[in-house]
Amino acid sequence: MKNCLSYAFRKWRREGGYIIIRRSLAANKFGIRSPWHPVYWVPHFLHMSKEGTITQYVPSERKVEEHQGNVWRFWLDLWHFEGRVVVGDFECRTVWNGDFYGNMPQESQDEYPVAENA
């Protein structure tokens, strides 16, 4: 099983640090505004090392394309999805650029590189 929870938990068990839990921004991607919709409350888990470095597991570009307009496919992929580990906490800043999956805009890829050995 590989998703943001399993990634953050394994990283925490191996290295210590902290697990950060927040509401996923996926509901915004699908235009879900009602707090009564189950996708509205899907959590997102990140890992913060003892040194303060934040890493997170996010869907790959291919998975993001598969989810376009398909809430059901997204819901099934919550339990296991193809993804990548990225360094940094850019999710809240990129929401205003229309990218709700945690993928960063092209101009900030140098600032938040993909993790090599996560």
Burial 4-30 (b: 16+ CB within 10 A, else e): bbebbeebbeeeebeeeeeebbbbebb
Q: pLDDT for 20-79, tens place per residue?
A: 998 887 877 778 888 888 888 889 999 999 998 999 998 888 887 887 778 888 888 888
Is the pLDDT at 81 greater than 70, yes or no?
Answer: yes
pLDDT value at residue 107: 47
Is the pLDDT at 105 greater than 80, yes or no?
Answer: no
The structural domain count of the chain equals: 1
pLDDT value at residue 40: 83
For residue 21, list its beta bridge partners: 45
Say whether pTM exceeds 0.75. no
Contact 22, 5 (CB under 8 A): no
**Is residue 13 assigned to a domain?**
yes
**Is residue 113 assigned to a domain?**
no
Share the mean pLDDT of the chain: 77
Tokens (6 digits) for 10: 């394994």
**Residue span of the structural domain in which 32 resides:** 4-108
**Is residue 11 assigned to a domain?**
yes
